[in-house]
Chains A and B, each alone.
Chain A
């Protein structure tokens, strides 16, 4: 399927007939980058001409078959796509043990943890670095939480020979040490961000400060489907390879579509990448999982569950904040989910009712992490461990002949120190 090179715009048009209908869930955002009341371009004037220019170049790239061709070629031969679609038989059996008679859906995984660099993040980085190249930019910056996006960005920068600066919160530098070293090996300069809580939000602030001061030569590779328009749209489009493959693979393997999709949400890029190609398939239910941290009544990172709409990092979306609009510090055991906001399309999908959102605590995610290790021989990242916990919860309520498909968007190598510490083990 990777040999066909449809331009992006056309790929989106051919997926379902419903695309052209006004009631499609797949025709967002509008011309101003708004997803209903969410999204938009809330940036300083200095950056406005840059994001308009980015949009112009993205539109040109979308219409250019050569861009799609190069993207596809790199995804196939460099990233290792398509990623497998895997039926997790032992996990399914395990879950069925506790299920009422006739219940316990088949659990399937989209294995984006097998990608080069170990997560879905690379899909987006390939797309954005190709855009940077088209625009003649000579320096790349990025923010990172778990370090997966930082590693993926450092990787594509090495691959394309561009200098790379990654902003990473000081807290995350400590808890994601392996990725810090990986980025350095790949030649990136990693700047530890001390401000605020020293996590993803603060890294993003400093990346934007860098960008505003280096407007002429610098391309900002944002790591999730958030930020000012057109980032939420283009990150979604690049990540939608996950859902497009999954849809085709599922049809090929089972002759039907899954009954439910599940994905973990930090900013929401792996989730929107899986969901978007299915949004106009009404029979497919979707569940986005936020990080409930210590619990929704304590410190957490579930902005849809515990936040309200506001403006941060260039877009309007649900945010954890106080009554004055001051942003709260998020908490999750998973650095990649430790963010007080969420991509604007998810805010819109929540309000439109098309996608259901729920949350999973640190403790539940840790249990799911271990469960996948022992039942399937797969060490997942802590981010998708949240999705796996939700899958186990949902599958027991579904019929045996139903299919639940989760995005296994990252592998857990980076998390072994965090998990060891949480389990009280020394390594």
Chain B
């Protein structure tokens, strides 16, 4: 059935011999019409998984770069319908590349969790990362997504203690996203040793692949993380390229993503 296909697309995205490259951009930045070409550039540059950010007026967990991208997108008039159209078109062009929607609770749940889960299925979205729905509030979105076999990708952070971790891993699917610093997106980067220690701790509790993100900008950093984790997530650095080049961003995005991808491929 559908669901197996979705979950397979995500699980197949993590090769056994190297880390996967997970890339984030904000949908509709600089405009909904430009996002398709940017997503293609991510794939052409070697990204294994695409995170498509749903813009929100109040992105509380994001730093200046992604905040600005959210505002650019909304100012350009991006609607939820546009975002779903971007996903649908991406799925048609790239039948096998996993696509994950990332964003905040309110735009995801405003029409009801069922509506959103159906929209994800129709748009060919494989998983959802919701920043501000912790496991404690999982029933406001997670149940509906799981019922439609859309992966509920959970976040673990440096503050996630041993007592919480089992709750987070329960019902998690797709992969586990380790937010390597306590903070907002795009600013600091964590020490390699602390990342390694955290990944080891997380992998002891789950068979899911563990992707590590927050503050990764250079091929060298990506290379370091790729040695210890199953995936490397890069967001703000790509969003900054889009901020700089606007509609002309795709070749620059592609070149940058390729530099990350090359580093990851040679890491192990």
Contact = CB atoms under 8 A, between A and B. Distances in A.
Interface string B39-56: 000000000000000001
B85 to A, nearest CB: 13
A46 B159 contact: yes
Interface stretch (B7-15, B126-134, B205-213): B126-134
B203 interface: no
A9 interface: no
Interface string B145-172: 0000000001111111100100010000
Contact of B184 (A40, A45, A50, A213): A213
Contacts of A40: 136-137, 140
A327 B137 contact: no
B67 interface: yes
B58 A44 contact: no
Contacts of A45: 134, 154-157, 159-160, 168, 179
Interface in B95-112: 104-110
Interface string B172-212: 00000001001110010000000000000000000000000
Contact of B60 (A208, A310, A319, A325): A208
A45 B131 CA distance: 8
B122 interface: no
A209 B140 CA distance: 24
A48 B107 contact: no
Contacts of A400: none
Contacts of B157: 44-46
Interface string A29-70: 000100000001111111111100000000000000000000
Given A195-B67, A212-B183, A215-B159, A44 B109 contact: no
Contacts of A195: 67, 71
A347 B184 CA distance: 30
A205 B58 contact: yes
A324 interface: yes
A325 B107 contact: yes
A313 B59 CA distance: 10
B266 interface: no
Interface string A214-229: 0100000000000000
Contacts of A310: 106, 109-110
Interface string A287-321: 00000000000000000000000111110100101
Nearest to A49: B159
> Chain A interface residue count: which class?
20 to 34
Interface on chain A toward B: helix, strand, loop, or mixed SS? mixed
Contact of B106 (A44, A208, A312): A312
B179 A46 contact: yes
A324 B135 CA distance: 24
B74 interface: yes
Contact of A323 (B110, B137, B187): B110
B131 A326 contact: no
A323 to B, nearest CB: 7
A205 B137 contact: no
A175 interface: no
Nearest to B55: A326
A42 B182 contact: no
B61 A325 contact: no
Contacts, number: 109
Interface in A184-217: 195-196, 201, 205, 208-209, 212-213, 215
A48 B56 CA distance: 21
B218 interface: no
Given A208-B60, A311-B106, A44 B131 contact: yes
Given A45-B168, A46-B159, A212-B184, A325 B132 contact: no
B79 interface: yes
Instruction: Name which of A32, A47, A48, A205 has the most chain B CB atoms within 10 A of its CB.
Output: A48
A47 B132 CA distance: 10
A205 B133 CA distance: 16
B2 interface: no
A42 B132 contact: yes
Nearest to B159: A49
A316 B132 CA distance: 11
B58 A42 contact: no
A403 B74 CA distance: 49
A148 to B, nearest CB: 23
B61 A212 contact: yes
A32 B137 CA distance: 9
A255 B168 CA distance: 55
A49 B160 contact: yes
B80 interface: yes
A363 B145 CA distance: 47
Nearest to A309: B110
Contacts of B67: 195
A41 B179 contact: no
Contact of A196 (B57, B107, B132, B140): B57
A303 to B, nearest CB: 13
A43 B74 contact: no
Contacts of B63: 209
Q: Which of A32, A45, A46, A311 has the largest count of B CB atoms less than 10 A from its CB?
A: A45
26 contacts: A42-B137, A44-B132, A45-B156, A45-B160, A45-B168, A46-B157, A47-B159, A48-B134, A48-B135, A48-B164, A49-B160, A49-B161, A50-B159, A201-B58, A209-B61, A209-B184, A212-B61, A213-B182, A213-B184, A213-B187, A310-B109, A310-B110, A314-B132, A324-B110, A325-B80, A326-B74
Given A41-B137, A310-B109, 13 more contacts: A32-B136, A42-B134, A46-B157, A46-B179, A195-B67, A213-B183, A213-B184, A311-B132, A316-B140, A319-B106, A324-B80, A325-B106, A325-B110
The 9 closest A-B pairs by CB, nearest first: A325-B110, A213-B183, A325-B106, A311-B105, A325-B107, A46-B157, A327-B57, A324-B80, A45-B155
Interface of B: 56-61, 63, 67, 71, 74, 79-80, 104-110, 131-137, 140, 154-161, 164, 168, 179, 182-184, 187
Interface of A: 32, 40-50, 195-196, 201, 205, 208-209, 212-213, 215, 310-314, 316, 319, 321, 323-327
